[in-house]
Structure 1
Amino acid sequence: MEQIKTDVLVIGAGSGGLSVAAGAAQMGANVVLLEGHKMGGDCLNFGCVPSKALLASGKAAHGQTKAGVFGVADQAPQVDYAAAKAHVKDVIAQIEPMDSQERFEGFGVRVIREFGHFVSPRVVQAGDHQITARRVVIATGSRPFVPPIPGLDDVPYLTNETLFDLTETPEHLLIIGGGPIGMEMAQAHVRLGIKVTVIEGAKALGRDDPEMAAIVLDRLRSEGVEIAEDAMAKSVSEADGVISVETLDGRSFAGSHLLVAVGRKANTAQLNLKAAEIETHKTGITVDAAMKTTNRRVYAIGDVAGGAQFTHVAGYQAGVIIRSMLFGLPAKARTDHIPYATYTDPELAQIGLTEAQARAQYGDKLTVTRFESHHNDRLIAERNAYGLIKAMVVKGRPVGVSIAGPHAGELINLWALVMANKLKMSAVAGMVSPYPTVGEINKRVAGAYFSPQLFDNPRVKQVVGFVQRWLP
């Protein structure tokens, strides 16, 4: 058994773990990184990257059916599903070197390709290695949650970890779960010519602003995605190659393939957290605002910490703990400035509070300002002018922004900057945006916030009238 002593031990080579390992090593710390599966974690291999690549295939196919409006003949796309999956694999392969063992060893990180588990509060065992570290970072991520639906274990089903290995074309894809993963994969597949039914126990995209979610869901339904809401799965069965899902209200759905996309579960089972005196809760490891666990020498970041499950959150939290671990400086993670996006077409993006949350928290102090994207000249030129942006504003500062429409994931970036730095709406209104760009939408919604104060204010008109009478 090799005994290793190090400054920082990182368990998990996903987004958060890699960020910590690279940053700490390049700033002079001795770093050991453990990974028992694939470098890059879920995002590179099973999540963000492959899903966006498959969405791109679907978008290309869909574009061929909608070219007539531009003076280019519409045509039915000739889809090769296996080739689309090959495209996905190629995209992963192009990004893999950035997350590779070789690259991180080049930073000075010792990479051990084994799973790790605690044997004491300060010692982790990984294969034939026992590592004692001054600080340990748990960044083991999450895995698909598979609900205990009767019959599911007896039926071949897919999760995001197996979907991208499927090369045979599904005749009819059933998706249990109407969240972001389910809806993204529903649209990607229906655009590739596959019949799709989404079975959602509550409301599809139910965590988002209902008005914004409706814009997305209406588009998906118009493209042929069947979305069954309030359809809680009761049982699953298979007969003669046909998979059936029965719901509590008596509905039945049949298809050739089944994708389970009902959420994620933190990867804690193999860690032996009890030996490390680390407490957990129902969604992950218990951490404080500094991302420290109940073992003060151990941090947990990313999905395993049980908060917002986004790659960019893990990266942000990595930066927070590096400040604390390497420099001994106080650092706390915020959540109010964290954006997220769902990459359907149209996209859906959110930062801060939704309208309902803001009204509940601020009441009459809240102003909600809106701008409809069909007024954007660039989107009109591209025949893509639809969608909505809403800004929730209190005392001149946005406390939340919701966007549904083309490029919503890009548009939310400006608001992430604004809210991270606690800027006011006047900062957005004062910027000059090039014409014609989609980004003008952000400036226009800021302008809409100030319009009533300028154009509907009798005092402003009195002042203007006075100045005009006396101005030489």
Structure 2
Amino acid sequence: MANETHGEVEVALDRSSLDDLTARVRAVLDIQDRRYGFPPRTYTKCFVGNEAVQKLVEEQIASDEADAVRLGNMLLNAGIFHHVQHAHPFENAYLFYRFVSDEDHGAVARTPDGNAVSWADFIAPITSDEDAVVSLQPSMPDRDPDLAQFAQDDLDHLNISPLDTHNAKLLDLTHPKSWVNPAPKASYNLVVIGAGTGGLVSAAGSAGLGARVALIEAHLLGGDCLNVGCVPSKALLRCAKAAVAVRHAAEFGVRVDGNISVDFGYVMERMRRLRASIAPNDSVKRFTEDVGVDMFMGRGRFTGKNTIEVNGDVLHFSKAVIATGGTAAIPPIPGLAEAPYLTNATLFNLTELPPRLGVIGAGPIGLEMAQAFQRFGSQVTVFARDTQILSKEDPDAAQVVEAALRRDGVAFELGANLKRIESQNGQPPVTVVLETDAGERKFEVDALLMATGRKPAVNGLGLEAAGVEYDERMGIHVDDRLRTSNPDVFAVGDVACKYQFTHMADFMARMVIRNALFFGRDKFSNFLIPWATYTEPEIAHVGLYERDLQARDIAYNTFTREFADVDRTLVDGETDGFVKIHVKKGSDEILGATIVSSHAGDMISEITVAMQSGMGLGKLASVIHPYPTAAEAIRQCGDAYNRARLTPTVRGIFDRLMSLRR
């Protein structure tokens, strides 16, 4: 219901009356494209406040100017129209206003990857309202039990260097030096703290659906993914792949004369250039001018259950999303604090290739960068406490990747007991000291990369004032609908989830928009989550591992196709790896899959789609795949399943039937 005011009399409006009034008002207004400011900017399909007031009085829709202003604000508060910059109520002044029906939200609001936001993304259920019969989310290693004792990157000192034209462009887009925060609105439908993937999708999606949104970021919009994660790391991996392709070109009859070397300075300059070219998608300019979000640069802190303070301004909200992510966790190894070391936040600032690189940690970040830098020309040594690299992955798959890295020249010290780190006056080189049964072993490196996990960014948020429960190890506690202990506050991404992937933060944000603003009932436990590690070969996985099936007493069968037996990978010389698919025993229901190959990250989506839509492995065998492709291995697993259904009894019946027809 909305209230219409005429001559100091309030009349309750139902939806039909409101639509009729809107049509009457719209019919008398002068709606056109207008230009204003210097340099002039065009505002499409808008009307002017003082001209509208005059028309409403002339047409006797309002009794006088004051009545016209009250009527205009009633329509504005009902969401019929708004100021073009969401900066003013309806006033008898030279201000521009636009009807919401004239907005093209598909063009205005876009996700960080550039796709248009649609109502279906958020109003249609992302997960089923029904409980899944079997959750297909695999067990993941818990965050390190000692994580609360680990130090954390201090993002106040986050440094993007060198300050060349590319990094200057990046900073201008993601943290403008001269930015002035807007005056806070009286209240917001949604306030988002953190402008990484989860925060940007939450803000863009909500604003695109008509919500009044404030977005708070203390550092760089785009978060880790754009600035110090997915984008720069994959740019380096592509260069590393090119380098090894040239070195191995002779295997394909291509002779390369002379020495082969990598111009590391150019590799890093290319990365900075590409990163800056992608940054407009996540920029302050886009989110304020195109999406319509109020952007506050500064550190947000809860001051109550429905208030957040940033730079002295207090923002009032109906709902809030915490999307502060995490930063590199630094273990308390003696001597490390006094030694120079790199994390993912500083690795991409390098301009010279370290001759010897030590990597502590054998997870995705550590191994991707270990392989890249080895291919660039560093001698890389990986140190890890575990005896298996990529501890969450299928052991067979991890073994294939380890063998590939060893062929590249990467050295491994697995099961390592790190005793201390030595350095002279905080300068390289750095010595990594291991304790073994035979005594100490020392490894001198020119640079040391710490890749020992991530720590959720929960400190300094004033969570106690908001009644939000958390701990430093696991992050913010959320329920299956991503609500915190404060029902008006939600959390997404690395700060609240052990599935630390950009695409996971994206879909958690979509879920929050539906659950927080539109009374949705999506459940995190119903998500089907694929992921990939981008070593060469890649590992990609979706659903349950064998260890999960065994732990849950689920009877299953496994079908495996080695790429050494697939025509396309044979001719490409990419025979390392396999497709491994688990199905429920007695049916073709796919319960989980792992792929190890050069294109595993792309191939896993076929299996994910099949699982999401309920297509079984037997039906996948009937899907025609182009020949020759690596994805044929998936179809061939389906063929193997169908052959397995031919029991001796069934085969005997077929044999007798064929003999009768001869």
SS at match of 2:525: coil
Could you tell me how far 1:335 is from its partner in structure 2? 5.9
Question: 1:196, CA displacement in angstroms?
Answer: 0.4
Q: Which amino acid aligns with 1:432?
A: I
Shift of 1:327: 1.5
The match for 1:374 among 551, 564, 569 is 564
> Are 1:86 and 2:269 matched, yes or no?
yes
Question: What's the secondary structure of 2:304's corresponding residue?
Answer: coil
Distance 2:565 2:286 in 1: 47
Q: Does 1:185 align with 2:408?
A: no
Answering whether residue 300 of structure 2 is matched by residue 109 of structure 1, we say: no
CA separation of 1:217/1:400 partners in 2, compared to 1, >3 Å: closer, same or farther?
A: same
Say whether 1:393 aligns with 2:577.
Answer: no
2:123 paired residue number = none
Kindly indicate whether residue 383 of structure 2 is the aligned counterpart of residue 199 of structure 1.
Answer: yes
Structure 1 residue 13 and structure 2 residue 205: aligned?
Answer: no
1:318-345 CA deviation, whole Å, 9 max, x = no partner?
A: 1111111222121111366101111000
Counterpart-to-counterpart distance in 1, 2:614 and 2:505: 22
Contact 2:618 2:641 in 1 (8 A): no
> Which residue identity lines up with residue 431 of structure 1 in the other structure?
V
Deviation for aligned residue 1:359: 2.4
- AA partner of residue 404 (structure 1): V
| Within-5 A mapping of 1:55-74 | 55-74=237-256
Question: Where does structure 2 lack aligned partners over 5 or more consecutive residues?
Answer: 1-182
Greater shift, 310-319 or 245-254, is seen at 245-254
2:628 alignment partner in structure 1: 436
Q: Secondary structure at the match of 1:392?
A: strand
Matched ranges for 1:23-422 at <5 A? 23-74=205-256, 76-105=259-288, 106-203=290-387, 204-239=389-424, 241-249=428-436, 250-281=440-471, 282-334=473-525, 337-363=528-554, 365-394=555-584, 395-422=587-614
State how far apart, in whole Å, the 1-side matches of 2:461 and 2:643 are: 56
With over 3 angstroms needed to count, the CA separation of the structure-2 counterparts of 1:419 and 1:334, relative to structure 1, is: farther
Question: 1:3 touches 1:129 (CA, 8 Å); kept in 2?
Answer: no
Could you tell which deviates more after superposition, 351-360 or 53-62? Answer: 351-360
Kindly indicate whether the alpha-carbon contact (under 8 Å) linking 2:373 and 2:380 is maintained by their aligned counterparts in 1. Answer: yes
Quote the Cα distance in structure 1 between the aligned partners of 2:417 and 2:391.
14
Q: Residue 241 of structure 1 aligns to which amino acid in structure 2?
A: P
CA deviation map 1:159-193 (0-9, x unaligned): 00000001122010001111111100000000001
2:652 match: 462
1:306 Cα offset (Å): 3.2
Deviation, 1:2, is 4.9
CA contact (8 A) 2:340 2:428 kept: no
Q: What is the distance in 2 between the residues matched to 1:271 and 1:422? A: 42
2:80 alignment partner in structure 1: none
CA contact (8 A) 2:563 2:574 kept: no
Q: Distance in 2 between matches of 1:213 and 1:143?
A: 25
Deviation for aligned residue 1:94 = 1.6
Residue 446 (1) aligns with residue 446 (2): no
Tell me if structure 2 keeps the 8 A contact 1:4–1:130: no
- TM superposition shift of 1:315: 0.6
Distance 1:206 1:330 in 2: 33
- The one-letter code sitting in structure 1 at the alignment partner of 2:430 is I
Which residue identity is paired with 2:282? D
Deviation of residue 74 (structure 1)?
4.1
Structure 2 distance, partners of 1:207, 1:335, is: 20
Consecutive unaligned residues of structure 1, counting only runs of 5 or more, are none
Quote the offset at 1:233 in angstroms.
1.6
AA partner of residue 236 (structure 2): L
Looking at both structures, which has the greater relative contact order when contacts are Cα pairs under 8 Å and sequence separation is at least 6? 1
Distance in 2 separating the partners of 1:430 and 1:20:
39
Q: AA paired with 1:218?
A: A
Instruction: Please report how far the alpha carbon of residue 362 of structure 1 lies from its aligned counterpart in structure 2 after TM superposition.
Output: 3.0
Q: Which amino acid aligns with 1:63?
A: A
> Does the C-alpha gap of structure 1 residues 335 and 162 become closer, same or farther in structure 2, counting only changes over 3 Å?
farther
Whichever residue aligns with residue 596 of structure 2, its letter is A
Amino acid at match of 1:99: D
Aligned equivalents of 1:181 and 1:143: distance in 2? Answer: 13
Which amino acid in the other structure matches residue 246 of structure 2? Q
Deviates most, 131-140 or 196-205 = 196-205
Paired with 1:4 and 1:69, the residues of 2 have a C-alpha distance of: 68
Q: Is contact 1:336-1:352 (8 Å) kept? A: no
Q: How many residues align?
A: 469
2: CA distance between counterparts of 1:142 and 1:16? Answer: 12
Q: CA deviation at 1:469?
A: 4.3
Structure having the higher Rg: 2
Q: CA deviation at 1:81?
A: 1.1
Q: Is 1:427 matched with 2:610? A: no
Q: Conserved in 2, the CA contact under 8 Å of 1:151 and 1:236?
A: yes
Q: Counterpart amino acid of 2:204?
A: A
User: Does the Cα contact within 8 Å between 1:67 and 1:73 map onto a contact in 2?
Assistant: yes
CA contact (8 A) 1:358 1:400 kept: no
Rounded Cα–Cα distance in structure 2 between residues aligned with 1:357 and 1:81: 43
Partner of 1:17: helix, strand, or coil? helix
Q: Deviations over 1:399-431 (max 9, x none)?
A: 111111221111111122122233321232221
More divergent stretch after superposition (103-112 vs 176-185) = 103-112
Instruction: Assess, with a 3 A threshold, how the Cα gap between structure 1 residues 194 and 64 changes in structure 2: closer, same or farther.
Output: same
Amino acid of the structure 1 residue aligned with 2:310: A
Distance 1:335 1:58 in 2: 37
Q: Please say if residues 240 and 376 of structure 2, whose CA atoms lie closer than 8 Å, have aligned partners that are also in contact.
A: yes
The change in CA–CA distance for 1:335 and 1:93 in structure 2 (over 3 A counts) is farther
For the aligned residue pairs, the C-alpha RMSD in angstroms reads 1.6
Contact kept? 2:207, 2:293, Cα under 8 Å: yes
Residues 532 and 540 in structure 2, CA contact (< 8 A), matched pair in contact too: yes
Q: Are residues 169 and 330 of structure 1, via their aligned partners in 2, closer, same or farther at CA, if it must alter by over 3 Å?
A: same
Q: In the alignment, is the contact (CA less than 8 A) between 2:191 and 2:215 conserved in 1?
A: yes
Letter in 2 for 1:81: F
| 1:92-129 alpha-carbon deviations (Å, 9 max, x no partner) | 11210111111112111111111211001110011132
**Greater than 6 Å deviation, 4+ residue runs:** none
Q: Which moved more, 1:247-256 or 1:399-408?
A: 247-256
With the length of structure 1 as denominator, give the TM-score of the two structures. Answer: 0.96
